[in-house]
Chain A
Amino acid sequence: MVSFLEFEKPVAELERRINDLRTLSDAGDVDVVDDIIRLEKKLANLLESTYGGLSAWQKTMVARHPQRPHLEDYIGGLIEEFTPLAGDRGFAEDPAIIGGLGRFRGRSVVVLGNQKGRDTESRLKHNFGMARPEGYRKAIRLMQLADRFNLPVITFVDTSGAYPGIGAEERGQAEAIARSTQTCLQLGVPLISTVVGEGGSGGAVALASGNRVIMFEHAIYSVISPEGCASILWRTSDHAEDAANALKLTAQDLKKLGVIDRIVGEPLGGAHRQPTDAVTSLGDAIAESLQELQAMSADELRRDRREKFLSLGSAGVA
């Protein structure tokens, strides 16, 4: 069962009617077949019009949809021989960021990503994808491992942000994020970053400072959550929708601003409706981006990243 978002109510209603008719049809009522076909066409149109014009706030909801594909789906669908590697070698293993070795379309790679969890138990285990310093330090360790063995790095970003807690601060959350970003920028191997759900603030940048940054059609990437922004600037989180619009956090806005390189289309009605297709499309985009970078030397890859991020300022100041 797909769970429905607030703005999908008409879609839900139509699907319910189709299901009712199917039950009749299964019971031998042949007259309803035409009705089913008609309604299914209507449903496809409705999904297309709804999803073709999602607002920034609606996209935020879709990006956070509980049934949206998560890291385990990307690894399961795209990475063979996945071999998870644990620990930061300093303090702990942080399950909010999963990383390891594996094979992407035949090629050995290092994979990193946020794991949000699917049910209450796994969400708690992975801390809802909100990493502590150890998660970023593990990421640093694995990126450096990739660098040493000349393996491309692929990251899947899906986090509301780094975890704000006493222990996290005590052990240097800010430093860990800063070093992880720095490590991304120092790599002599290709780094492909994908924002698959939520790209939340510095906690996302730490894994997303890549040669190519790819976003799903309905993913978001922002300096602050719409709720957080609203509560600071409007002094109430009721204005989250206004904040979402003002922040320009959609993939389409980010592409226009030159912050991301590529948008991957989602199946009609969002990635959560056809997860397998969504995962495959993302895989194709990663493969094409990797292909573009394959011939570049370590220095060229570093320069490519530097130029990309230096250019994100005022014209002429790079």
Chain B
Amino acid sequence: MNWMRDYVRPTLRAVFKRSDDSEEVKWHSCKKCGQMIYRRDFVAAQYVCPQCDHHERIGPQERFDALFDEGVYQLIDMPRGMDDPLKFRDKKKYADRLKESRSKTDRQEAISAATGKLAGQRTVIAVQDFAFMAGSLGVGAGDAFLVAVREAIAENAPFVMFTAAGGARMQEGILSLMQMPRTTVALELLREAGLPYIVVLTDPTTGGVTASYAMLGDIQISEPGALIGFAGPRVIEDTIREQLPEGFQRAEYLLEHGMIDMVVHRHELRDTLAGIISLLIDQRRAGGDLPLLANASSGA
């Protein structure tokens, strides 16, 4: 596929010189290898680079479209929560940052959730959007997590959480920190209902999010190459004044160190989720033990 790099790029550059915006939006340049990809192909490949397999960060809508049967789902209504509880202001007002993020993403908060069928099984899926203030966990995102869990319980459905966050929403101070125990309580409710909680870690997941619901899954899955950790790499480097080892805090590193169950390519994610869910809820669906022996039902 190297011809693309050699041939298409110069041509494209010529195209850009003509400042043809419609041409520009037709192409995507891979953030990792620089490969130019026809956008329509890139979308069809679920935003995975055909050249280097880099998994581009994607938002809730792309996830829902790819995962739910025939792309059919229902967004879960989120309450309008409290904005800016501390009246926080740094160089900029937090209220303004929030407004910007909302208009940029067309979403209310960093977590969105939907309900629908995944391989025929009713499932609630929540997705954290890194594009919304780095996916950070504040009161509104905590509300959304809680509402999504309650919906799963109400619908008797497994709960799948896609994580992506720089950590807590520091502009909400201690109230953002309190979303760590709060979301953990939500998971206790789900556990009591006997419903599976599956975490899919995506790039990047760090800070208080990793140190709460992102690490408490019954099953822990990660997308390839995702950065996952408690402390960010820069904080660690500043503390220990050493260079970090190759691949440190990447999904494969976590797998090797026993922190996650599997690393799954985005193209296989849907089937993997469907398979795991079906295995986990087998007993629940069957309503008891199935006979293991062919003649067990004859009572012999």
Contact B168 A224 (CB under 8 A): yes
**What is the CB-to-nearest-CB distance from B149 to chain A, in angstroms, rounded to a whole number?**
11
Contact B230 A249 (CB under 8 A): no
Flag whether A61 is at the interface (Cβ < 8 A): no
Which of B174, B207, B244, B259 gathers the greatest number of chain A CB atoms within 10 Å? Answer: B174
Flag whether B16 is at the interface (Cβ < 8 A): no
Checking A177, A247, A254, A309 against B211 with a beta-carbon cut-off of 8 angstroms, the contacting residue is A177
Contact A314 B82 (CB under 8 A): yes
By a beta-carbon cutoff of 8 Å, the part of chain B in contact with chain A is 79-82, 85-86, 88-91, 139-140, 142-143, 146-147, 168, 170-182, 184-189, 207-208, 210-216, 228-231, 235-236, 239-240, 242, 244-245, 248-249, 257-259
Which of A169, A170, A257 gathers the greatest number of chain B CB atoms within 10 Å? Answer: A169
Expressed in whole angstroms, the Cα–Cα distance for A171 and B86 within the complex equals 35
By a beta-carbon cutoff of 8 Å, the part of chain A in contact with chain B is 162-166, 168-175, 177-179, 181-182, 184-186, 201-202, 205-206, 209, 221-224, 229, 232-234, 239, 242-243, 246-249, 253-254, 257, 259, 305-306, 309-310, 312-318
Expressed in whole angstroms, the Cα–Cα distance for A310 and B188 within the complex equals 11
Q: Which residues of A contact B90 (CB under 8 A)?
A: 233-234, 239, 242-243, 246
Q: A166-B242, A166-B245, A246-B90 are in contact. Are A174 and B174 (CB under 8 A)?
A: no
Contact B212 A202 (CB under 8 A): yes
**What is the CB-to-nearest-CB distance from B142 to chain A, in angstroms, rounded to a whole number?**
5
Identity of the chain B residue whose Cβ is nearest the Cβ of A235 in the assembled complex: B91
Checking A201, A234, A243 against B177 with a beta-carbon cut-off of 8 angstroms, the contacting residue is A201
Expressed in whole angstroms, the Cα–Cα distance for A165 and B230 within the complex equals 10
Checking A202, A229, A259, A309 against B185 with a beta-carbon cut-off of 8 angstroms, the contacting residue is A309
Q: Which residues of B contact A184 (CB under 8 A)?
A: 181
**What is the CB-to-nearest-CB distance from A78 to chain B, in angstroms, rounded to a whole number?**
25
Contact A247 B231 (CB under 8 A): no
**What is the CB-to-nearest-CB distance from A37 to chain B, in angstroms, rounded to a whole number?**
44
Contact A181 B180 (CB under 8 A): yes
Which of A171, A205, A316 gathers the greatest number of chain B CB atoms within 10 Å? Answer: A205
Q: A169-B236, A173-B231, A221-B174 are in contact. Are A178 and B185 (CB under 8 A)?
A: no
Contact B230 A169 (CB under 8 A): yes
Expressed in whole angstroms, the Cα–Cα distance for A224 and B142 within the complex equals 18
Identity of the chain B residue whose Cβ is nearest the Cβ of A305 in the assembled complex: B185
Q: Which residues of A contact B142 (CB under 8 A)?
A: 312-313
Which of B86, B147, B175, B177 gathers the greatest number of chain A CB atoms within 10 Å? Answer: B177
Contact B175 A257 (CB under 8 A): yes
Contact A257 B85 (CB under 8 A): yes
Q: A174-B211, A182-B184, A310-B185 are in contact. Are A248 and B231 (CB under 8 A)?
A: no
Expressed in whole angstroms, the Cα–Cα distance for A248 and B175 within the complex equals 10
**What is the CB-to-nearest-CB distance from B130 to chain A, in angstroms, rounded to a whole number?**
16
Which of B178, B189, B208 gathers the greatest number of chain A CB atoms within 10 Å? Answer: B178
Contact B168 A223 (CB under 8 A): yes
Q: Which residues of A contact B182 (CB under 8 A)?
A: 309-310, 312-313
Expressed in whole angstroms, the Cα–Cα distance for A314 and B142 within the complex equals 9
Contact A223 B173 (CB under 8 A): yes
Checking B147, B180, B216, B239 against A202 with a beta-carbon cut-off of 8 angstroms, the contacting residue is B180
Contact A234 B91 (CB under 8 A): yes
List the 3 closest pairs (A to B, CB-CB), nearest first.
Answer: A164-B231, A314-B81, A174-B210
Checking B89, B230, B245 against A162 with a beta-carbon cut-off of 8 angstroms, the contacting residue is B230
Q: A166-B240, A169-B230, A184-B181 are in contact. Are A314 and B211 (CB under 8 A)?
A: no
Contact B143 A317 (CB under 8 A): yes
Expressed in whole angstroms, the Cα–Cα distance for A256 and B196 within the complex equals 37
Checking B89, B139, B174, B257 against A313 with a beta-carbon cut-off of 8 angstroms, the contacting residue is B139
Expressed in whole angstroms, the Cα–Cα distance for A11 and B207 within the complex equals 40
Checking A181, A310, A318 against B212 with a beta-carbon cut-off of 8 angstroms, the contacting residue is A181
Contact A248 B181 (CB under 8 A): no
11 further interface pairs, Cβ-Cβ under 8 Å (given A173-B229, A309-B184): A164-B230, A166-B240, A181-B211, A185-B181, A201-B168, A202-B168, A221-B174, A247-B88, A306-B185, A312-B179, A314-B143
Checking A165, A174, A243 against B215 with a beta-carbon cut-off of 8 angstroms, the contacting residue is A174
Q: A168-B230, A247-B173 are in contact. Are A182 and B236 (CB under 8 A)?
A: no
Contact A259 B239 (CB under 8 A): no
Expressed in whole angstroms, the Cα–Cα distance for A185 and B216 within the complex equals 13
Contact A169 B229 (CB under 8 A): yes
Contact B230 A202 (CB under 8 A): yes
Which of B172, B181, B249 gathers the greatest number of chain A CB atoms within 10 Å? Answer: B181
Q: Which residues of B contact A242 (CB under 8 A)?
A: 90
Expressed in whole angstroms, the Cα–Cα distance for A253 and B173 within the complex equals 11
**What is the CB-to-nearest-CB distance from B206 to chain A, in angstroms, rounded to a whole number?**
8
Expressed in whole angstroms, the Cα–Cα distance for A253 and B172 within the complex equals 13
